[in-house]
Amino acid sequence: MNEVLRYILLIVIALFALTTVAAWLIWLERRMLALWQDRYGPNRAGPFGLFIVVADTLKLFFKEDWIPPFADKKIFVFAPAIVAAAVLMSFVIIPFAPGILIADLNVGLLFFLAMSSLGVYSIVLGGWASNNKYSLLGALRGASQMISYEVFMGLSLMGVVMLSGSFRLTDIVLAQKEYWFIITQPVAFVVFLIAGIAETHRLPFDIPEAESELVAGFHSEYSGMKFGMFFIGEYLGITLISAMITTLFLGGWLGPAFLPPLVWFILKTFVFILLFILLRASLPRPRYDQLMEYGWKILLPVALLNLLVTGGIVLMMDK
């Protein structure tokens, strides 16, 4: 019974923490973009503009929850929930610190890839159910982009699996006690980072919702909390990819003893969240065909070559 209560408490704390982080990332992004672009950013609503998050949340709650008369209503309502649910499920297998995780699955890495694949359905169903040409174009772009970059993401992780000998994330973290995998797998790290940016469709890879071409892409017809679910899913996705990079390449919770393991994990994750925001502030959006060519003509051969070299080195070391 105590074990069941412990898991329920962990789940409640994780849900509260993640949804809170997703909300405050809105403020953080605006402040960081303002800093890097030499402007003020939010500074009127409360100290340092912190209450802008409350204002945004209230706005989403009280906006008209409009469903277009030409939309497929059931799928239109269901689609936004998929992306948030899939990302939240992915956090189940992340070890934040020793003993602080919800499920220590022996196929944790495969579970993460499976959950990230479900996010495609949200974009496709949302765009298709809207019955709008811009939404449908954004959905088709999003599907091809996410499915393509999932391939490179999966291949980049196979080198980590070879070195750790496990799909379990706690085993992967413990395998980095002597040296982080970013040292032995720098190519895999770069491929995973690029694929992660494409998976979360953040700038410069926000092709599915390119406002200069598609109004707002797959969520053009959404408003109120349905739009808010897409929004929350995006910020949760940034946090998830940052946490996965920390776990797979930066030793997870491992660090000098003067800080608790959980603090090390949060600090490392925060660095990559800031990197995601900096990319938005600094890089232009490529054309859709350039994005796909970049993936299949550059990232795929690089990921396969890295896999081949890693496999060869592991075999030589075993001898």
- Share of residues in the chain with pLDDT > 70 (%): 96
| Residue 55 CB burial class (10 angstroms; 0-12, 13-18, ≥19) | middle
pLDDT: is 219 or 258 the higher one? Answer: 258
User: From CA 90, how far away is CA 88, in angstroms rounded?
Assistant: 5
Over residues 96-102, mean pLDDT: 86
pLDDT for res 263: 93
The residue with greater pLDDT, 114 or 49, is 114
Distance CA(30)–CA(26), nearest Å, equals: 6
| pLDDT, position 214 | 62
Position with higher pLDDT, 157 vs 103: 157
pLDDT tens per residue across span 210-256: 665 666 667 777 877 888 888 888 888 899 999 999 999 998 888 88
Across all residues in the chain, what is the average pLDDT?
86
Q: Tokens 């592991």 sit at which residue? A: 314
pLDDT at 175: 92
Read off the tokens for 142.
């999003």
Of 208, 210, 202, 204, give the one whose Cα is nearest residue 142.
208
Lowest average pLDDT, out of 108-122, 124-138, 241-255, goes to 124-138
pLDDT at residue 127 tops 90 = no
The per-residue pLDDT for 319 is 66
pLDDT of residue 45: 79
